[in-house]
Amino acid sequence: MNDNKYKVVRNEMIAPGTYLMTISGDTSEIKGPGQFINIKLDGLYLRRPMSICSYGDDEMTMIYKIVGKGTKAMSRMQPGEEFDALSPLGNGFMIDEIPECAFLIGGGAGAMPIYTLAQILRDAGKKPHVIIGFNKEKEIFFADEFKELGVDLTIATMDGSSGVKGTVVDALLEVRETAMDKNGLKTENRQIYACVCGPEPMMKAVAEHSDAGQYDLGARMACGFGACMGCTVITKNGPKRVCKDGPIFRQEEIIW
């Protein structure tokens, strides 16, 4: 973890209320998707945590939704503006544990760490199946980017205006057999392994239908680096800090 200075390169609305921000600055310590940064914003005391969606040599991208003062202030930032952020924080997905055919499932603005995850798994020769869920067609973003990755993609919308009608769970139930057939999984290996980012009720619903996996838990945070016990989640292995021991937790340790 360092306190790094980042410069806004790009900051634009990609769906109603949802923004994509690309920043330049140090990315050398980032280990992988699922990690986050904690941003200092003028006039706000606590920093605001944001997932790292994708990253390169000296750039990274975040996707965020306006929900309050801090995210509103972020949406007003112009290219060239600078801010400080503690980075990188958290453990990130445990990539080595992800099997050949995993379902990468995301809902809404918080879903995007799975983009980079999909990319990494694809590059490692694995065949992830991505499922992303939105309320309606107009709110869909990043579908083209996922298609360009060349991974299997299923979109779910609550109102059915695009893709499968319903939640990501509906989509998972609809596509799981064909996805596993396609990957030639034998009956005894037909386990659903899910890597999930999104709102908690959605993650919980996915967990009810999957055999194993990794989940990106959220929490109200103060420090973001493990000092305050503000973000504790009680797991089957006792109390854990979402910011430091997570935010990615294995399905078997989560108590929903």
Partner 1 sequence: MVDTSVELCGIRLDNPVIPASGTFGFGREFAELYDLNLLGSIAFKGTTADPRNGNETPRIADCSAGMLNSVGLQNPGLEAVAAEEIPALAEKCGKPLIANISGFSVEEFVRCAEVMDRCEPVGFLEVNVSCPNVHAGGRNFGTSAEETALITRAVKKVTKKPVFIKLTPNVTDIASIAKACEQAGADGISLINTLLGMRIDIKRRKAVLANRMGGYSGPGIFPVAVRCVAQVHDAVRIPIMGMGGISSAEDVIEMIMAGATAVQIGAANLVDPWACKKIIEELPILMERLGINSLSEICGIA
Ligand X SMILES: Cc1cc2nc3c(=O)[nH]c(=O)nc-3n(C[C@H](O)[C@H](O)[C@H](O)COP(=O)(O)O)c2cc1C
Contact 223, 229 (CB under 8 A): no
**Helix ranges, 29-160 (H):** 69-75, 113-123, 143-149
Q: Does 231 bind ligand FES (CB under 6 A)?
A: yes
The whole-angstrom separation of Cα 69 and Cα 7 is: 20
The whole-angstrom separation of Cα 146 and Cα 168 is: 16
Q: 124: phi > 0 → left, psi -120 to 50 → alpha, else beta; which?
A: alpha
What is the contact mask toward ligand FAD in residues 40 to 59, using x (rule: CB under 6 A)? --------xxxx--------
Q: Which does 227 bind (CB under 5 to 8 A by kind): partner 1, ligand FAD, ligand X, none?
A: partner 1
Enumerate residues 235-254 that contact ligand FES by CB under 6 A: 241, 243-244
What is the contact mask toward ligand FES in residues 201 to 230, using x (rule: CB under 6 A)? --------------------xxxx-xxxxx
Maximal CA-CA distance, the chain: 57
Neighbouring C-beta atoms of residue 158, cutoff 10 Å: 14
Enumerate residues 67-86 that contact partner 1 by CB under 8 A: 86
CA distances 158 to 66, 69, 155, 168, Å, are 21, 28, 10, 9
Q: Which does 13 bind (CB under 5 to 8 A by kind): ligand FAD, ligand X, partner 1, none?
A: none
Point out which residues bind ligand X (CB under 6 A).
Answer: 228, 230
Q: Which does 101 bind (CB under 5 to 8 A by kind): ligand X, ligand FES, ligand FAD, none?
A: none
Q: Does 232 bind partner 1 (CB under 8 A)?
A: yes
Of 82 and 177, CB closest to partner 1 = 82
The whole-angstrom separation of Cα 176 and Cα 31 is: 30
**Helix ranges, the chain (H):** 69-75, 113-123, 143-149, 168-182, 200-207
Contact 64, 71 (CB under 8 A): yes
Q: Which stretch binds partner 1 (CB under 8 A): 4-12, 115-123, 191-199, 223-231?
A: 223-231
Of 37 and 149, CB closest to partner 1 = 37
Question: Smallest distance from the beta carbon of 6 to ligand FAD, in angstroms?
Answer: 15
Q: Does 104 bind ligand FAD (CB under 6 A)?
A: no
Q: Does 234 bind ligand FES (CB under 6 A)?
A: no
Site residues for ligand FES per CB under 6 A: 221-224, 226-231, 241, 243-244
Site residues for ligand FAD per CB under 6 A: 36, 48-51, 62-65, 67-71, 109-110, 218-221, 247
